[in-house]
């Protein structure tokens, strides 16, 4: 009887909370008003740069003229999409984008996980911090600078080819070969971002209970088995979330990297959707077509995000929403 009365009281209290939910929100906002004031610049930024531009997406369905503006340009419906899907070049860059991002996912996504686990095993604090500083630095170097370094090293007259010739080999066309360009993108991307990507994994590793490792040691587990049965399972929630986010940006080709490294000789394997949109949108002035491509790709990213998030929740119970 007491349990029944307690349950009834909780239900009544819950109903009262729901009824006064609106006032509770305002009271909470008043109590933490300074936090909301600190949040305000971010909300204003998001509204100006992420929500207002959504209105401009309507030019994907218009024949946009700069002189007439968005409102004055005539509606053409799905004409731009029909022309887009009939363009062979679009499907080439579409395929290139998917293949390059799959390579990045297969080789680039596990790299910071492996590096974070290796750094976590280092016990010498000074050595560990030195390694962390070294692997973090490339993240702060722009792709323009990195491209200049790579051109100096990998061009036909660069240092690498000079060493190859010195040892009796033939020069390799690293920057103009379709077979070499994608590995170049993947390797340079890993080198630049692998250190920065370890930060979130190292933070997760620091939250693992040390007693688990001590118990595993007592049970006779070596370091590899401890990583396999303690470290990796503890990282799975973070790994699943980041993997979902990576799939959600699968159609983003990495404009900065590709634009600074590619040339007309490697368009067949290296031209991605981002660089294609840049050419037809900014250099050729086909703003409506470029916007149509952007809408189509965002739709694909959204579908991939929902599908992968649902699959992750069904498999491991972890998702981003």
Query: Looking at residues 197-218, what average pLDDT do you find?
Result: 89
Is residue 296 pLDDT above 60, yes or no?
Answer: yes
How high does pLDDT run on average in the chain? 86
**CB 62 within 8 Å of CB 70:** yes
pLDDT for residue 2: 46
Lowest model confidence (mean pLDDT) among 106-110, 144-148, 248-252, 284-288: 248-252
pTM of the model: 0.80
Percent of the chain at pLDDT > 90 equals 32
Strand partners for 62: 75
CA 190 – CA 6 distance, rounded (Å): 58
pLDDT for residue 240: 87
CA 306 – CA 141 distance, rounded (Å): 33
CA 220 – CA 239 distance, rounded (Å): 27
- The third-level CATH classification (topology) of the domain covering 78-316 is MetI-like fold (1.10.3720)
Angle subtended at Cα 146 by Cα 162 and Cα 238, rounded to the nearest 5 degrees: 125
Residue 155 region by backbone torsions, left for phi larger than 0, else alpha for psi between -120 and 50, else beta = beta
pLDDT for residue 106: 93
- What are the start and end residues of each CATH 1.10.3720.10 domain in the chain? 78-316
């Amino acid at each position: 009887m007491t349990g029944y009365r307690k349950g009834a009281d909780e239900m009544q209290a819950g109903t009262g909370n729901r009824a006064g939910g609106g006032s509770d929100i305002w009271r909470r906002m008043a109590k933490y008003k300074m936090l909301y004031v600190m949040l305000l610049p971010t909300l204003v930024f998001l509204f100006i740069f992420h929500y207002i531009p959504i209105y401009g997406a309507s030019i994907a369905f218009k024949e946009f003229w700069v002189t007439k503006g968005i409102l004055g340009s005539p509606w053409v419906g799905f004409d731009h999409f029909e022309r887009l899907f009939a363009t062979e070049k679009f499907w080439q860059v579409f395929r290139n984008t998917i293949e390059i991002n799959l390579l990045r996912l297969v080789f680039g996504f596990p790299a910071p996980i492996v590096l974070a686990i290796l750094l976590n095993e280092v016990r010498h604090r000074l050595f560990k911090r030195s390694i962390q500083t070294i692997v973090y630095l490339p993240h702060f170097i722009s792709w323009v600078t990195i491209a200049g370094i790579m051109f100096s090293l990998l061009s036909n007259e660069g240092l690498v080819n000079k060493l190859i010739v010195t040892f009796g080999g033939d020069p390799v066309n690293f920057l103009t070969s379709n077979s070499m360009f994608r590995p170049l993108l993947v390797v340079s991307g890993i080198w630049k971002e692998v250190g920065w990507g370890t930060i979130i994994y190292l933070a997760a590793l620091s939250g693992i209970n040390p007693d688990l490792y001590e118990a595993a040691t007592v049970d006779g587990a070596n370091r590899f088995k401890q990583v396999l049965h303690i470290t990796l399972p503890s990282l799975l929630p973070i790994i699943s979330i980041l993997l979902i986010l990576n799939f959600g940006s699968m159609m983003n080709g990495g404009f900065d990297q590709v634009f600074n490294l590619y040339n007309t000789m490697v368009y067949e394997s290296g031209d991605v959707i981002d660089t294609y949109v840049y050419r037809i949108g900014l250099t050729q002035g086909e703003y409506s077509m470029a916007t149509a491509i952007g809408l189509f790709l965002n739709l694909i990213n959204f579908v991939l995000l929902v599908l992968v998030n649902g699959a992750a929740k069904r498999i491991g119970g972890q998702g981003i929403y």
